[in-house]
Amino acid sequence: MPLVTIQTSVCMDAEAQARLLAKASAIVAEEIGKPEQYVMATLSQGGVLMGGKDGPAAFADVRSIGGLSGSVNGKISERLCEALGEVLSIPPDRVYINFSDVPAGRWGWNGGTFG
């Protein structure tokens, strides 16, 4: 049920996409404490303007039913920024991350919801 969605301005090949998705999925599972089999990670490329300037940048959205907190969010932020820097050379000051704790009844899966 955790979801990490990444939007970036950096063009990448299939190998870089696969590496980043695998890293993001593992980071979210480890830090939230949920099995990775329930994590979904998505990645898209497109225009991003940050601070009125173009260049390498990313936005990540992390959603989960529980498991998020100030300390967990800080660890996810640190590790996602590290992964984005390693795989796509995006500096951490060019990354925004949003965290959302979603009520179980508002998360659908397999023809129903978790709540």
Residues acting as catalytic residues: 2
CA distances to 29, 63, 79 from 32, rounded to whole Å, are 5, 10, 13
Eight-class DSSP state of 10: -
Q: Which residues does 98 contact at the CB level (< 8 Å), separation at least 6?
A: 59, 60, 61, 62
What are 7's two structure tokens?
Answer: 């939007």
